[in-house]
A and B are shown apart, each in its own frame.
Chain A
Amino acid sequence: MKLLATYRALLVAQLQQAAQYRIQALLWMLFAIIRPVIFLAAWAAVASTQGGSVGGFSVGDFTTYFVCLTLVTHLTMAWNSHEFEFEIRQGRLSPKLLRPLHPLHYSIVDNAVFKLTTILPLSAVLVGVVLTFGARFDTQPFHVLLFVPSVFLAAELAFMFTWLIATLAFWVTRMRTANTLFMRASFIFAGQIAPISLVPDWLQAISYALPFWYMLGAPTEILRGSTTLTSSLLIIGAQAVWLGLTYVAFTFAWRSGLRQYSAVGA
């Protein structure tokens, strides 16, 4: 109950910030939109030169995939850990540690507020794209039903995974390399380039084995209705497992990181 009240207060504070930086929030939204649109354009061009479809995908199918990908990218966006790295480098973490609330909670609220305040304009844009390009959905009711837990798990997974990477900041100063590694892995494995059925078999196998596709591609495939009921449930199961593993790893890394941090006496 106390946590709820805290969340409420944090929510109001963050909303006020959001009100101050409303233009910025809209600009950030572009992050979710631009890359999918770029690859949609490329695939649409390929599909047209190939006489309308590539590997069973028509322009409409590509549109559906990348529109769903945009929505999922937006809903699973995780950026808060970057501030953490900054704070730890500037030695500003200590005051936050003194408060009786794990720094994670500030991030959760911040993250949620951004998505709440931008989901409406984003949806408007996406509906526009769907109408212009004539997207074709195979989505069944069960897809929509299963999409909700899947996208939620994906967001949690991306959030926890970036925080796991951020804990590296306890030990190393140059975080750029770690972040680049994550972003490029996400680029190549998470389904940003193409629907997973279009990438070469070996890449497909790696993508299924690593956590990145479960942060982005997985809920996208469910939402556009390309999965069977069984495979949808399997995907959600895999997401849950990855989330559990990441959470355990984060807890461990956070504890030993804090020990390291206080040992240095920053």
Chain B
Amino acid sequence: MTAPVVSVRDLKKIYRVHERETGLGATFRSLVKRRYKDVPAVAGIDFGIEPGEVVGFLGPNGAGKTTTLKMLSGLLFPTGGEAQVLGHVPWRREDRFLRRMTLLMGNRTQLVWDIPAADSFLVLKEIYAIGDAQYKGTLDELTELLELAPLLHKPVRQLSLGERMKVEFAAGLLHRPEVVFLDEPTLGLDVSMQARIRTFIRELNRRSGATILLTSHYMDDIVALCRRVIVIHHGRILYDGALADLAERMAPYKLVGATLRGGARDLSAYGQVVSDVGGQVKIRVPRAQAAETTARLVRDLGESLADLSLEDPPIEEVIDRVFSGEQLDGTGGQRELAGVAR
């Protein structure tokens, strides 16, 4: 049993924000006196990550994902709780710790706009005190993996968003970090570039064994990269476990797919019909009644049933519903949700 790379206990972050008011009078008042209120961004979370894991961090905007990443990378002091990354308390920001990790943010650049990336890399080489041989080896490898060769000697401002992100990755990985925090690494990229970044992240994890914690709005990223996900909402963890089990835990219903022979039939008696296209019918049924419903369908439809399937709802839909706080089915959805919240 190896020690976890990241361990978090009861981590909290509360922001104090200045309340802005509208209207002429209120504006004048706020010239003199400001009002503040406390906003909990992270309200006490616990988790651990083992070496070499790739973990997806899911949640809507403002759920506390970025705040957590910033605390884990040492940029923010928590209001309470503990965290260790690679055996260090991140917010002490010791050089020894900083040399072993990296944080990449999809919407922000650390490269200097007006100079070629290769020059920025040389600066990073000195800052991280990377030896010549290691620097060359790493840069060659990254250049090959990310196809950087034509990009390195152009001023960064001339690169497209996708090209810039690739260069950004290289900049963040030159010092061969053992822990990689990725905040929306594919934000704003086109589909093919997203796919290439994904392939790269997987390859990075495979080759270097780096532990990766990533947030993304794109479920495709998560599905392609992470076997484990942590779902966070309003600063609390709603789910922590295998991606494969997420639907089962979070969506208390399944989808029954029936392919019918000889024309359409009304199947609404068996459950809520989600779609009905050319004899392909999808019915939403409560998880507990799924087996019974399929049995009933086989019995009632007999010969006219060509094919039958039972599946979990698409992961996007599950996540969407959790975050919108919608009831997951007609009955007792809220109770189910409260049940999984820990």
Residues of A within 8 A of B (CB): 12, 15-16, 18-20, 22, 117
B residues less than 8 Å from A117 (CB atoms): 31
Flag whether B24 is at the interface (Cβ < 8 A): yes
Flag whether B28 is at the interface (Cβ < 8 A): yes
Nearest A residue to B24 via CB reads A12
Flag whether B158 is at the interface (Cβ < 8 A): no
B28 with A19: CB separation less than 8 A: yes
A residues less than 8 Å from B30 (CB atoms): 19
Task: Please give me the 8 A-B residue pairs with the lowest Cβ-Cβ distance, nearest first.
Answer: A19-B31, A16-B27, A19-B30, A19-B27, A15-B27, A12-B24, A22-B31, A15-B24
In the complex the two chains form, what is the Cα distance from A22 to B22 in whole Å? 16
- B19-33: which have CB < 8 Å to A? 20, 22-24, 27-28, 30-31
In the complex the two chains form, what is the Cα distance from A19 to B24 in whole Å? 11
In the complex the two chains form, what is the Cα distance from A47 to B31 in whole Å? 42
Nearest A residue to B34 via CB reads A19
- B44-87: which have CB < 8 Å to A? none
* Cβ distance B147 to chain A, nearest Cβ, rounded Å: 29
Nearest B residue to A14 via CB reads B27
In the complex the two chains form, what is the Cα distance from A50 to B78 in whole Å? 65
B residues less than 8 Å from A18 (CB atoms): 31
User: Pick the contact of A12 from B20, B27, B31 — CB < 8 Å?
Assistant: B27
- B130-148: which have CB < 8 Å to A? none
A residues less than 8 Å from B27 (CB atoms): 12, 15-16, 19
In the complex the two chains form, what is the Cα distance from A255 to B72 in whole Å? 54
Nearest A residue to B23 via CB reads A12
* Cβ distance A137 to chain B, nearest Cβ, rounded Å: 32
Nearest B residue to A12 via CB reads B24
In the complex the two chains form, what is the Cα distance from A19 to B31 in whole Å? 5
A residues less than 8 Å from B28 (CB atoms): 15, 19
**A-B contact list, 17 entries, CB within 8 Å:** A12-B23, A12-B24, A12-B27, A15-B24, A15-B27, A15-B28, A16-B20, A16-B22, A16-B27, A18-B31, A19-B27, A19-B28, A19-B30, A19-B31, A20-B20, A22-B31, A117-B31
A residues less than 8 Å from B23 (CB atoms): 12
In the complex the two chains form, what is the Cα distance from A15 to B31 in whole Å? 9
* Cβ distance A184 to chain B, nearest Cβ, rounded Å: 28
Nearest B residue to A117 via CB reads B31
In the complex the two chains form, what is the Cα distance from A18 to B27 in whole Å? 9
A residues less than 8 Å from B24 (CB atoms): 12, 15
* Cβ distance B337 to chain A, nearest Cβ, rounded Å: 39
* Cβ distance A141 to chain B, nearest Cβ, rounded Å: 34
A residues less than 8 Å from B20 (CB atoms): 16, 20
Which of A12, A19, A20, A22 has the most C-beta atoms of chain B within 10 angstroms of its own C-beta? A19
In the complex the two chains form, what is the Cα distance from A19 to B27 in whole Å? 6
A residues less than 8 Å from B31 (CB atoms): 18-19, 22, 117
* Cβ distance B115 to chain A, nearest Cβ, rounded Å: 18
Nearest B residue to A8 via CB reads B24
| Additional 4 contacts, C-beta under 8 A, given A20-B20, A22-B31 | A16-B20, A19-B27, A19-B30, A117-B31
